[in-house]
Amino acid sequence: MRHPQTAPAPLQRPAAAAAQRDCARRRSRCRPRPAPATTAAAAAAAEPLVTERELQIKISVAASTGRLDLSDLRLAALPEALWELADLEELSLSGNELPELPEGLARLTSLRRLVLAGNRLRALPGDALGALPGLEGLWAHGNAIEELGGGAEALTALKSLSLAGNRLERLPDCLGTLTALEDLSLSGNRLSAVPPAAASLPALRRLALNGNALREVPGEWEGAAGLEELHLQGNALTAVPDGLTHLPALSELSLADNSISRLPPDLSGWRGLQKLHLYGNRLEQLPAAALLALPGLQQLWLEGNPLSTSAVDALLRGIADGAAPPTLRALGLDEGQLASSDAKLLEAARAARPGLLRAGIVAGGGPGYFKLQRGGSGGGSGSSSVDSSGNGHASSSSGSGSSGGEAPAPSSERVLVVAFGSAPGLPNWGGVLRQVQGSMEADGAVSAFDVLFVVDPFRDWYRGGDAAALESTYHSRLSEAAAGYGRVLMVGDSMGATAALLFSRLATAVLAFCPQVDLRSASIRPARPGAWLDALQANVHAALQQSPARVRVLTGTWQHDLAQASLLERHPNVTLKAYGVDSHRLALALARGGRLAPLLREAICNEAGLPSRNVRLANML
């Protein structure tokens, strides 16, 4: 079974022709749900994409394998024979039309993995779930769940729980009884508070609360001493409690895009911290010495804060004096923050740690990360800190936007690459774009492109279902940032790919990896009403109809993504391509296989009118 928030299945690499044939076969079987003009009632009454006989065969096979995949079949009800599979261990019901789960679920007492993502569920049947003591994974993201019923306290074996993109306003205290829980995703809900029990789960390793309405978090976290990742970006936090610093295993913490005005003075409890995202807050002062004393710190991002001159100078002085840890590879600041800094300190800091400072331009005012990186022209500039997936921030390593070599060419002669972030709500694409820049410079090519990183921290698909909000929060800023560029290439995957399509009017080329178009049928989606989801699809089509861009939509062979891509076939400027990767995480798979950077380089060179030493893009696809 497969769903978008788990690790991808092992990659398959058939020949391109075989992938294309598989794409065509799957497209013919996985018709998308009704278009926005169809009423919700008609959509609910649509016929399933499977016959009763086919269901019987699937259930018969599952009786011997212990696994049953009924995902993306447009089922509004489940066959009674399903509840007779007493030995069933894995069940996927994602991407259907289920309004509720029958009590028969309680009879599947051997169940270990249950996937319910992308249905119409408003509640989870607590009593039925409570009868599944061996359940280890429950994925129910992308529903309309408003509350968690009783019975969850019996899930003592549960390790992974995903409830992202629902309508939860509060969490039950019984959450604290899930002592085996390692991964808890609650992003994109309506939570205003987190119960203390959530901060005392002893096995918890990852907690995602981004894109909620949190005004505060628990003050004590020592009970979750093993926590390694904590995502709190895109909330309404104003302070960081001292107790949050008592997390010695924490390696990544995102507090970006809140209203935080103060950090605790003592940060010594974060001795394992590697990545700290603080951009887009209200910080004027910083505990600079405490930040630079973190022994394993690798990345510190502070852009978009109204930092005082003394705060910036304290950071620069620490770097110049050698106080920064040797592990630190990236300190993200914006040019506004550096404008009033001590020029000699700035020069000394750059000399002491070349390439450490990542300065860029914060474009416009509004929500989310919106940072322009000026690329070099032969001499190179963009630096980034990345992982193997190609994710990471990137910005110019020079306060002027160029770290060496010739000055950047005028914007009209350059390509602007707009890199949209996906649902996790953090900037990505920085790593792979740096690879592109490095390869172009190594070949003696002029890397005449800038990068604008854009992120929606609220997991709200860039306000795509509300035309007025879309214009005021993102489109107007993008239009201003793109003005003066002769060519604009937009890239994104998943939610970011949807954004690239939504704003394609401003582009001359688009690369969209596995976009979501019909969010009614998507497993990863925001907790928005059906009319809003329909409006987003209409806005995507309207943008493509008016777009001058050449749009390439790239997918793997996963049925869900092929169905989404097929909705775009009617646009003459859209080309669909399929890779032999049976996963939603196509961009990640291509990056790991070394194929993403050449693909992006080809697209950038095409826009810049430069020859590329890659194989032709058509051959790669």
Closest among 436, 438, 437, 419 to 428, alpha carbons compared? 419
Q: Where is 320: in which H helix or E strand?
A: helix 309-320
Average pLDDT score over residue span 313-335: 97
Lowest model confidence (mean pLDDT) among 5-9, 152-156, 205-209, 377-381: 377-381
DSSP 467: H
> How far is it, in rounded angstroms, from Cα 74 to Cα 94?
9
User: Are 274 and 251 spatial neighbours (Cβ–Cβ below 8 Å)?
Assistant: yes
Higher pLDDT, 6 or 213: 213
For the segment 98-109, what is each residue's pLDDT rounded down to a tens digit?
999 988 999 999
Helices 343-352 and 309-320: crossing angle, nearest 10°? 40
- CA dist., res. 525 & res. 121, Å (int): 14
- Given the candidates 3.40.50.2000, 3.90.180.10, 2.60.120.260, 3.40.50.1820, the CATH classification of the domain at 370-620 is 3.40.50.1820
| Residue 523 confidence (pLDDT) above 70 | yes
Tell me which range, 389-403, 428-442, 522-536, is most confidently predicted by mean pLDDT: 522-536
The residue ranking higher by pLDDT, 412 or 8, is 412
Q: What is the pLDDT of residue 163?
A: 96
pLDDT tens-digit series, residues 345-375: 999 999 999 999 999 898 767 777 899 988 7
pLDDT at 385 (0 to 100)? 31
Q: What is the largest CA-CA distance in the chain?
A: 77
Q: How high does pLDDT run on average in the chain?
A: 86
Three-state secondary-structure class, residue 356: coil
Half-sphere exposure of 526 (CA within 13 A, CB side): 29
pLDDT for the residue numbered 126: 80
Q: Could you report the per-residue pLDDT of 230-283, keeping only the tens digit for each? A: 999 999 999 999 999 999 999 999 999 999 999 999 999 999 999 999 999 999
- Which pLDDT score is estimated for 376? 58
Q: Quote the tokens at residue 123.
A: 């509640």
- Report pLDDT for 335: 93
Residue partners of 103: CB distance under 8 A and separation at least 6: 125, 127, 128
Only one residue has tokens 């596995």, namely 514
Which pLDDT belongs to residue 392? 47
Q: Crossing angle, helix 559-566 and helix 16-29, to 10 degrees?
A: 80
Which helix (H) or strand (E) segment holds residue 511: the answer is strand 509-513
β-pairing verdict for 357-362 and 370-373:
antiparallel
Supply 288's token pair. 């600079």
Amino acid 343 reads A
Cβ neighbours of residue 174 closer than 8 Å, sequence gap 6 or more: 150, 152, 153, 197
- The bridge status of strand 275-277 relative to strand 252-254 is parallel
Whether 193 has a pLDDT exceeding 90, the answer reads: yes
Percent of all residues in the chain with a pLDDT value above 90, rounded to a whole number: 70
Contacts of 618 (CB under 8 A, 6+ apart): none
Element (H, E) at 41: helix 40-44
> What are the backbone angles phi and psi of residue 458, rounded to the nearest 5°?
-100, 5
Find the helix or strand (DSSP H, E) in which 23 lies.
Answer: helix 16-29
Instruction: Give CA–CA dist 334/350, Å, rounded.
Output: 15
Mean pLDDT of 276-304: 96
Percentage, residues of the chain above pLDDT 70: 84
Provide the token pair at 619.
Answer: 């051959």
Name the DSSP class of 474.
I
pLDDT in the model for residue 150: 73
Residue 33 has pLDDT above 90, yes or no: no
Question: Is 409 buried (19+), middle (13-18) or exposed (0-12) by CB count in 10 A?
Answer: middle
Please list the residues that pair with 67 across neighbouring strands: 90
Is the predicted pLDDT of residue 379 greater than 80, yes or no? no
The total number of residues written for the chain in this structure: 621
Strands 137-139 and 160-162: parallel
For the whole model, what pTM was predicted?
0.86
Please determine, for residue 48, whether its predicted confidence score (pLDDT) is greater than 90.
no
Domain residue ranges of the chain, discontinuous segments joined by +: 283-362, 370-620
